[in-house]
Structure 1
Amino acid sequence: MFGATKDFLGKPAPAGYIAGLGRGATGFTTRSDIGPAREGPTEADIARLQEQAKRKAAENGDDDDERFQDPDNETGLFNTAPYEADDEEADQIYDAIDAKLDERRKARREAREKEMQEKLDRERPKIQAQFADLKRGLNAVSTEEWESLPEVGNIAGRNRKKATLREKFAPPNGLATPAPGSMTNFREIGEANKQVLGMRLDRMADSASGKTTIDPKGYLTGLNSVVVKSAAEIGDLKRARDLLKSVINTNPKHAPGWIAAARLEEHAGKLTDARQIIDKGCAECPKAEDIWLEAARLNNVENAKRILANAVKQIPQSVKIWLHAAQLETAAKAKKTVLRRALDYVPNSVKLWKTAVELEDDPDNARILLARAVELVPLSVELWIALARLETYENARKVLNKATKTIPTSHEIFIAAFCLQEANDQDVERVVANAVRKLSMMESALSRDQWLEEAEKCEKNGFIKTCQAIVRATIGMGIEEADLKSTWMEDAENAIMHQSYGTARAIYAHALRTFPSKKSIWRRAALLEKAHGTKESLEELLERSIKYCPQAEFLWLMGAKERWNGGDVPGARAILDAAFGANPNSEQIWLAAVKLEAENGEHGRAEMLLSKAREKADTMKVWMKSAVLERQLGKINEALQLLDQGLVKYPTADKLWMIRGQILVDRGDTQKARENYIKALKSCPKSVPLWILASRLEEKAGLLTKARALLDKARLLNPKTPDLWLESVRIELRGSNANFGRTQMAKALQECPTSGLLWAESVWLETRAQRKGKIVDALKKSENSAHVLITAARLFWSDRQVEKARSWFLRAEKADSDLGDAWAWHYKFEVEHGDETRKQELVMRCKAAEPRHGEYWQAVAKDLKSAGKPLNEILVLAAASLPPNTVA
């Protein structure tokens, strides 16, 4: 058996045979095959053999595609199963859950992505961001400098460019060569032109009379306004038309298919075809209300009325069809007739009853309709409440009582009863408490947050007593005793955010009855009354507060200030006298009393109060105010004596050293002032204003080098301090050394890259053409800095973009309301471009903000000449002290 000779051995191979052809091998010729070697198979032979191999594999069932099928793809398993409504509902639920989870994680994901991006930008900054400043600096390169740049030595690329240009034979603006295999279908374009003509004729058809009217003058010119569809659009319409035709033929009882087909023809401009299709759909699907409504929409009013008349015969219970039929009527009487006919067929439709009642002008007729409506639809809360509003007080009470028995779980009916009681000056508190107790025993009871929302709604509708009663009855529901205060404060803040100040006031009032000795609650309530209450309510609240919290200095001072602002100086003085009895060692009360007397011209009383304060409230601030008052009164020697005594007790009080140095400079004693600053800097090396004052003293004396040295030493002891860097830049600018000043600014921005103060100053060091680019960088680096926002507003101001400048000034106010310079610049702008109303509004906002800081603001506010002046005058003086808004 093993020695048998194979039949094919020694025989020639078949024609065209190639070993391994089924595995993808191809014929080839070697050097040894030259001569007697035969040619390999042709491409046709290879294709034929491969086709045979495929057929044989298919007959043997060797198709391996099923092995690689996605197990999650159910096409192969369930492609015959119907897609039912419950499947669609399940898919919608899963999609909603996914969307909710994604929304819940959105804020954290975005914050994490932002943090990662910022970290990446810091670690691996883009070259574009690194060299943005240098690229803008190229604007200053002259033409001669550009031309003097050396040329690139490698010219290989130039030769390639020339060779490429020589290969282009088509003109640059010539027609594009069509892609291989694509041809323009001129027949479809011709059909498109015919369709355009048909569309135009259809639009001019008079469907009411069945005649066609054509305007001979405007027809040809009117064709110019018709948008000719491209070949691709026409092809899409044909495919959609064929698809919808298949849908209709497959399931002619499917109304959405008819509607889609009609809308397709409407979109194509064939309104007549659309009407014919929808008419056939109405015949095939007479019980589908959507198809009747679509047919009415596609026709004019008269035809739509006839269509809806047929529709109500087929679907007399359809509320949508009846309402649409009523809308088509123009006369009120006809509308009422249609609706009353509809109520005969659908007597339990709330929407029909509401529409019918809204059409009634006579309250008696509306009352009759609503009385009948609540009999037929007794579970409609809206109808019961509407009927109660049309009745008298006694009848309305009966209606609402009957409604609460019919629908005992409806809180809306109870709230309507509360409002009815308040509108007729009846007791609301007891009614609300009883209703809340009844509703809380039911399964559908409202939560505490929902009751507070209802209280806010009552406040918005003008029922303040109802709002307060609901708050008192529900504010403590479901809260642990330990969490009462924090929860109530959060509720009040939420109400204030919603501008529901009455609700917040009621929450504070209830909290104060529960915690009468909590100073923080009194403070919040007082601030609410100051911002949104009346003068009388604020004074009454403050009088009650100091009885329960006599040690609360803030409440005493607030009460005295309100009396003082109201012109009642004796009343303010009486409050402060009482405050001394409760807080004899309070620094704030002593200083408030001194300020009251000093600004009202009672300097003797102010000096006496400060003398007592230095004994009973011996603080640095008391000594400073004492020295300042003596300096304002011109008693320089007494002021220096007080400063010397105060510095013995408080040697690290930098403000005492600064006042002493300023007095010595004003007297012209430069040497003593220098000695004063030397001692001060030894005692207070971290005080930045002291270093700046000492530097300015040396600069004023002409010792510019020494002034620079002081600032350098200050920066070493106080690194990353923008104020010191800014002074270093300005000292160079004042010394006419602008180039070195720019160098200092570059170093400053490297050490303090997010300082809005430095970025704002750096903008003005650039040329006018480069400032816009610089302000963009400043806004990116220093987020929401008031200094940068002011600079941006000033740039818009210089470009005469008034509204943009005003909006940026407003942004600066909101960014830092304590910065007086923002208010001063805005006021100066309104003086030039605004009117009197805008200026007065600005002054009122400034008074409410009470700014205290700012370079120009403090220079004016702390000037001895400004002592005792009101804030509005300081605002005007600060605006006048500002430099011009230069554009150079």
Structure 2
Amino acid sequence: MTTNTLANKNKKHFLGIPAPLGYVAGVGRGATGFTTRSDIGPARDANDVSDDRHAPPTKRKKKDETEEDDDEDLNDSNYDEFSGYSGGLFSKDPYDKDDAEADAIYESIDKRMDEKRREYREKKEKEFLEQYRQERPKIQQQFSDIKRTLALVSEAEWAALPEVGDARNRKQRNPRAEKFTPLPDSVLSRNLGGETTTTIDPSSGLASMVPGALTPSGDLDLVKIGQARNTLMNVKLSQVSDSVTGQTVVDPKGYLTDLQSMIPTYGGDINDIKKARLLLKSVRETNPNHPPAWIASSRLEEVTGKVQMARNLIMRGCEINPTSEDLWLEAARLQPPETAKGVIAQAVRHIPTSVRIWIKAADLEVETKAKRRVFRKALEHIPNSVRLWKAAVEIENPNDARILLSRAVECCNTSVELWLALARLETYENARKVLNKARENIPTDKQIWTTAAKLEEANGNNHMVEKIIDRSISSLSANGVEINRDQWLQEAIESEKAGSVLTCQAIIKAVIGIGVEEEDCKQTWIDDAENCAKENAFECARAIYAHALQVFPNKKSIWLRAAHFEKTHGTRESLESLLQKAVQNCPKAEVLWLMGAKSKWLAGDVPAARSILNYAFQANPNSEEIWLAAVKLESENAEYERARKLLAKARSSAPTPRVMMKSAKLEWGLENLNEALNLLEEAVKVFPTFPKLWMMKGQIEDQQGKIEVAIETYNTGLKQCPNSIPLWILLSALEEKRGVLTKARSVLERGRLKNPKTATLWLHAIRIEIRAGMKEIAQTLLARALQECPNSGELWAEAIFLEPRPLRKSKSIDALKKCEHDPHVLLAVSKLIWSERKIQKCREWFTRTVKSDSDFGDAWGYFYKFELMFGTEEQQQEILKRCIAAEPKHGEEWCKVSKSIANWRFKTEDVLKALVKILPIPI
């Protein structure tokens, strides 16, 4: 190595390199003996141009970016005729960060203001859309009424309609019809004779398919092809039909059927089957003593159509696991019936104590004698199997069954079913002995005791029934059995259904008070009776009421419930008997007296009804209800003088507003108007705050033609009774009747001011406008009314039919959302469906309406009219019967008929039939 080389190697790396900016020697080593720039500050002023000799390199700007504002490119190629040079005044984008920030702030403010106005805007859009749809309904809605009339078109009219023709000319209908392509002469010449072609031209490719089928003329004969095919098939089948020994192995006739049966029934993936086979094979080889693996393998093969392989697998499993019941039963299922018997025989040899295998063996036998033999053999091996004994008894006649059961109860002395079955087959004396032995062997079962009670009742020993039930309760309690009240009540219900009434009554009497606190007895027993009535166990309910009345003989509510139960589910005799006991224990209960009198009256025994009311007078002197009941009884039976005397006596001894009203009504009904007015004049002086008196007085004066006097009467009555809604309506109707609509409107408006949120007053105001032809005003009133009374069914029902026909359905949906169970809305929807002639659906809605409120007479009237038009006679009678039972009292149309003085003697049936005549058909 040379000297120069060593010198270059030892040369320091910083030699020859210029010093860094601001470098002063010695400062790094701590030299402080001289002044440096770090002591006196930087060498340059802040405004001096920086020295960028050691600054980091800056990124070059892209060519497409603009340069500084003052560096303009004034080349001719950069000049434009319209905008000048690109470096002009408007060539730069003035949009900067401040503008972007301001725009973002303005955008957020606009967004917030838009959110605040959104609800109002959406509401306005919705209102505009609804108004648009009302003004411009769809074509389908416009023609819905015309389409509905198509239901009235008869079949003859439909058949007479002409076919729809095509009005276009021939060229428009079929533009290709005028084009004519002439056929070759060869085709025409072949068809001149009208013969059918049975050959194919040899020039076509079909001629090479069947050699030797060409005709002498060179054409291919189709008939010969078919004959050759059949011959070839017969030859093939004949060759395989007989083997060398002459035994038939193929049935030519059923060949295709057999092929069809070989199609696998499994439609899954073949790869899944292969995987399942491998997995099951692994399970079988790993644990051959696991029977479910063999069963699963055989069922897999069965599903895939390989039944024989499934049989082989299951039999292999039986050889490895000869004591498995499931394997043998599966093997018997897979085998044909003849082979299955042999399989079950092997199973019996391996498992002689298996009940399921013996039962399967009996099932495989066809003859009853063979079944008996199998069961006898089975019982030799398993004498304590209840299931085998029951199966063996089922196929025997009664005598042999009794003998078998005698042996069965010896072998299975703890089986209640066997003891009871033997008792049913024995005579009365022997059955008692059998049940006594059963109680000794099974002292903890209640069914044996109840069976014994039923046995005594069936043989006329009624006095023993209650004793047996009482002994059963004490015996079971002594043996540690809990007396479950609900279970015993269910046993009583089952006893009643079996016809053992005394047994069920004895059970009720014995257990009704168990586990019930004294203060809860009354309500608990009432609930029990109602539950029994729901399950149609009427004797149990009657027994519960009887026990409750023995414990609480002075409870009016229990007597009333029992009476209503007898009225609904009992006979007239049982009801009257109960009411006689009721009035003896509760003589001050007026309703019980009235129920008894009404029952006698409805049965036609008027003297008995009078007698009951006389006794009621003695127990309840000066009772308004009894006075009025007696008056009604006499007036209904046309004993008007008796009724007048009773009312006169009542007015002198117990003058009440209702007595005065009934007195005036009787005279009004008998057309003694002056007498009725005199009574009402006297009554309104004594009872000025009873509105019905003023109403009757005004109606009688109106009937006499004294309209001014009637209006004065109504005004006076309203001063005394400002909250009487019918008075306001009567006064308004009278003003409308004499043609003063302004006063009629003002009357209803004053009524609404006195009685705010009253839907009926709104409804009559709306109808006044409708009758006057002011439909727009009526709709405005309706909108106001729904704001004040949003849940009024009457108003919503009116709103449905105030809409145009296409919009009624949507309005009915809104009404149902607001008043889902209101009878007025349900009736309106039923009428709407009726107008669409949807018979079955309409019947369902009418049924729903009368169920929601059975006191709503209008619903019954429309329902009955509907059935008269579309229902059968049975359906009509059913509605009439249900209406009479419901006895409706309310409803606008119903009250127009029932409250009319001309119909004052009408019963429910008469009112319904009169109402049907005046109700309009919905359209």
TM-score of the aligned structures, taking structure 1 as reference length: 0.74
The yes-or-no answer on 1:384 pairing with 2:378 is no
Aligned to 2:295: 259
CA contact (8 A) 1:266 1:274 kept: yes
CA contact (8 A) 2:473 2:483 kept: no
After the TM superposition, which of the residue ranges 433-442 and 255-264 deviates more from structure 2? 255-264
CA distance in 1, matches of 2:735, 2:498: 68
Structure 2 residue corresponding to 1:370, chosen from 399, 405, 427: 405
The yes-or-no answer on 1:311 pairing with 2:347 is yes
Amino acid at match of 2:364: L
Q: The residue matched to 1:693 in structure 2 has which SS?
A: helix
CA distance in 2, matches of 1:842, 1:482: 43
- The Cα shift of 1:234 comes to 4.9
The yes-or-no answer on 1:484 pairing with 2:521 is yes
Aligned to 2:394: 358
Cα deviation digits, residues 454-494 of structure 1 (max 9, x gap): 11111111100111111112222233333332222222122
Aligned to 2:190: none
The yes-or-no answer on 1:795 pairing with 2:832 is yes
CA contact (8 A) 1:292 1:311 kept: yes
CA contact (8 A) 1:714 1:724 kept: yes
After the TM superposition, which of the residue ranges 816-825 and 447-456 deviates more from structure 2? 447-456
Aligned to 1:206: none
Cα deviation digits, residues 124-160 of structure 1 (max 9, x gap): 99999999998777654538999xxxxxxxxxxxxxx
CA distance in 2, matches of 1:572, 1:132: 66
1:584–1:333 distance in 2 versus 1, CA, 3 Å: same
Structure 2 residue corresponding to 1:728, chosen from 749, 765, 772: 765
The yes-or-no answer on 1:604 pairing with 2:641 is yes
After the TM superposition, which of the residue ranges 661-670 and 350-359 deviates more from structure 2? 661-670
1:876–1:562 distance in 2 versus 1, CA, 3 Å: same
CA distance in 2, matches of 1:222, 1:272: 14
CA distance in 2, matches of 1:135, 1:271: 70
Aligned to 1:323: 359
CA distance in 2, matches of 1:319, 1:728: 84
After the TM superposition, which of the residue ranges 705-714 and 816-825 deviates more from structure 2? 705-714
Aligned to 1:185: none
Amino acid at match of 1:417: A
CA distance in 1, matches of 2:874, 2:403: 53
**1:518-597 pair list within 5 angstroms:** 518-597=555-634
The yes-or-no answer on 1:417 pairing with 2:452 is yes
**1:649-798 pair list within 5 angstroms:** 649-798=686-835
- The Cα shift of 1:367 comes to 0.4
- The Cα shift of 1:705 comes to 2.7
1:669–1:326 distance in 2 versus 1, CA, 3 Å: same
CA distance in 1, matches of 2:607, 2:121: 69
Aligned to 2:115: none
Amino acid at match of 2:347: A
CA contact (8 A) 2:694 2:713 kept: yes
**1:325-474 pair list within 5 angstroms:** 325-360=361-396, 362-426=397-461, 427=463, 428-474=465-511
1:861–1:394 distance in 2 versus 1, CA, 3 Å: same
Structure 1 residue corresponding to 2:325, chosen from 289, 309, 312: 289
CA distance in 1, matches of 2:299, 2:309: 10
CA distance in 1, matches of 2:683, 2:723: 20
Q: The residue matched to 2:481 in structure 1 has which SS?
A: coil
CA distance in 1, matches of 2:470, 2:609: 42
Aligned to 2:546: 509
After the TM superposition, which of the residue ranges 850-859 and 486-495 deviates more from structure 2? 486-495
1:766–1:352 distance in 2 versus 1, CA, 3 Å: farther
Q: Which runs of 5+ in 1 are unaligned?
A: 1-9, 11-30, 35-123, 147-208
1:318–1:131 distance in 2 versus 1, CA, 3 Å: farther
After the TM superposition, which of the residue ranges 637-646 and 495-504 deviates more from structure 2? 637-646
CA distance in 2, matches of 1:366, 1:664: 89
Aligned to 1:865: 902
Percent identity between the two aligned chains: 51
Cα deviation digits, residues 366-419 of structure 1 (max 9, x gap): 101111110100000011011001111101001001111111111100000000
1:595–1:334 distance in 2 versus 1, CA, 3 Å: same
- The Cα shift of 1:581 comes to 0.7
Say which one has the larger Rg. 2
- The Cα shift of 1:626 comes to 1.5
Cα deviation digits, residues 224-249 of structure 1 (max 9, x gap): x999947xx55555555554444444
Q: The residue matched to 1:507 in structure 2 has which SS?
A: helix
Aligned to 2:238: none
1:127–1:656 distance in 2 versus 1, CA, 3 Å: farther
CA distance in 2, matches of 1:338, 1:422: 40
**1:827-866 pair list within 5 angstroms:** 827-866=864-903
CA contact (8 A) 2:856 2:890 kept: yes
After the TM superposition, which of the residue ranges 487-496 and 401-410 deviates more from structure 2? 487-496
CA distance in 1, matches of 2:437, 2:892: 71
Aligned to 1:818: 855
CA contact (8 A) 1:136 1:770 kept: no
Q: The residue matched to 2:921 in structure 1 has which SS?
A: coil
1:242–1:715 distance in 2 versus 1, CA, 3 Å: farther
CA distance in 2, matches of 1:276, 1:141: 81
1:33–1:778 distance in 2 versus 1, CA, 3 Å: same
CA contact (8 A) 1:292 1:308 kept: yes
CA distance in 1, matches of 2:556, 2:137: 72
1:385–1:229 distance in 2 versus 1, CA, 3 Å: closer
CA distance in 1, matches of 2:707, 2:375: 97
Cα deviation digits, residues 355-375 of structure 1 (max 9, x gap): 211112x21111011111101
Amino acid at match of 1:656: L
CA distance in 1, matches of 2:534, 2:137: 60
1:431–1:776 distance in 2 versus 1, CA, 3 Å: same
CA contact (8 A) 2:265 2:303 kept: no
The CA RMSD over aligned residues, in Å, is 3.3
1:463–1:143 distance in 2 versus 1, CA, 3 Å: closer
Aligned to 1:882: 919
1:877–1:238 distance in 2 versus 1, CA, 3 Å: farther
CA distance in 1, matches of 2:867, 2:761: 32
Q: The residue matched to 2:834 in structure 1 has which SS?
A: helix
CA distance in 1, matches of 2:125, 2:351: 74
TM-score of the aligned structures, taking structure 2 as reference length: 0.71
1:700–1:280 distance in 2 versus 1, CA, 3 Å: farther
CA contact (8 A) 1:584 1:616 kept: no
CA contact (8 A) 2:830 2:846 kept: yes
Cα deviation digits, residues 708-759 of structure 1 (max 9, x gap): 2332333333333322232232222212222332333333333333333222
Cα deviation digits, residues 75-122 of structure 1 (max 9, x gap): xxxxxxxxxxxxxxxxxxxxxxxxxxxxxxxxxxxxxxxxxxxxxxxx
CA contact (8 A) 1:305 1:328 kept: yes
CA contact (8 A) 2:264 2:305 kept: no
Amino acid at match of 1:350: V
Q: Which runs of 5+ in 2 are unaligned?
A: 1-12, 14-55, 60-117, 141-247
- The Cα shift of 1:524 comes to 1.3
